[in-house]
Chains A and B, each alone.
Chain A
Amino acid sequence: EVQLLESGGGLVQPGGSLRLSCAASGFTFNDYAMNWVRQAPGKGLEWVSGISGSGDSTYYADSVKGRFTISRDNSKNTLSLQMNSLRAEDTAVYYCAKDAARSSVYFFEYWGQGTLVTVSS
């Protein structure tokens, strides 16, 4: 059974930083790309970032490019998202999502339960 468990969310001031993590199990982690998808309160879904199975390729939405960094540790089956220069509009539930392929260009096959990030003073 695929399981994705996010952690690291919380309250942070504008301009601050936060690091999210996702622990994966139930599949061969390095065979699949992984992603972060977010959902602002009461709003729709927005893809944020993706990383290939090997970790060699990374992808970002324009809204976070230059501020967020995605990474993975295939030896520990973990996915991370380093978020810097946070803004109020980054407030959202952040979901870890398993891609359907090795490259980060497909659909989101499995999702974690999400972790809430609140950016506010």
Chain B
Amino acid sequence: EIVLTQSPGTLSLSPGERATLSCRASQSVRNNYLAWYQQKRGQAPRLLIYAASSRATGIPDRFSGSGSGTDFTLTISRLEPEDFAVYYCQQYGSPPRTFGQGAQLEIK
């Protein structure tokens, strides 16, 4: 199975700053089938990005995804207070579908 490793584990930034989260796969993700989710404390995950770079319905354009093959990035251009949460990447190119371990984005 494909193992996804997210870095950094924790990112401390201030509102208004730019956040860059990385997701590296143990092997190439077929068709760049890579998704990103946001999970706030006590809530269910929410889909942000699919197919590496396509924003889900209703997701603000400050969220963007990029990358291909084994290296993918989620970028939040200007952090809003509500963006501080845990972010997960997930691959769906090869079964079983797997998630990264998560990355905590915290307020500095």
Contacts and interface: CB of A to CB of B under 8 A. Distances in A.
Interface of A: 44-47, 59, 61-62, 95, 100, 105-114
Given A45-B99, A47-B98, A47-B99, A114 B92 contact: no
**Top 4 A-B pairs ranked by shortest CB distance?**
A107-B35, A111-B44, A45-B99, A44-B102
Given A44-B88, A45-B99, A109 B45 contact: no
8 contacts: A45-B88, A47-B96, A47-B98, A105-B97, A106-B50, A106-B92, A111-B46, A113-B44
Nearest to B1: A62
Nearest to A110: B47
A100 B44 contact: no
Residue of A46, A105, A106, A107 contacting most chain B CB atoms (<10 Å) = A107
A46 B95 CA distance: 13
State the main secondary structure of chain B at its contact with A: loop
A44 B3 CA distance: 13
A107 B44 contact: no
A47 B100 CA distance: 12
Residue of A45, A109, A114 contacting most chain B CB atoms (<10 Å) = A45
Contacts of A108: 35, 37, 45, 47, 90
Contacts of A59: 95-96
A47 B91 CA distance: 11
A114 B44 contact: yes
B11 to A, nearest CB: 16
Given A62-B96, A106-B92, A109-B56, 19 more contacts: A44-B101, A45-B90, A46-B99, A47-B96, A47-B99, A59-B96, A61-B96, A100-B50, A106-B33, A106-B50, A107-B50, A107-B90, A107-B92, A108-B35, A108-B37, A108-B47, A109-B47, A113-B43, A114-B44
Nearest to B34: A107
Contacts of A47: 96-99
Contacts of B96: 47, 59, 61-62
Contacts of A95: 44-45
A51 to B, nearest CB: 14
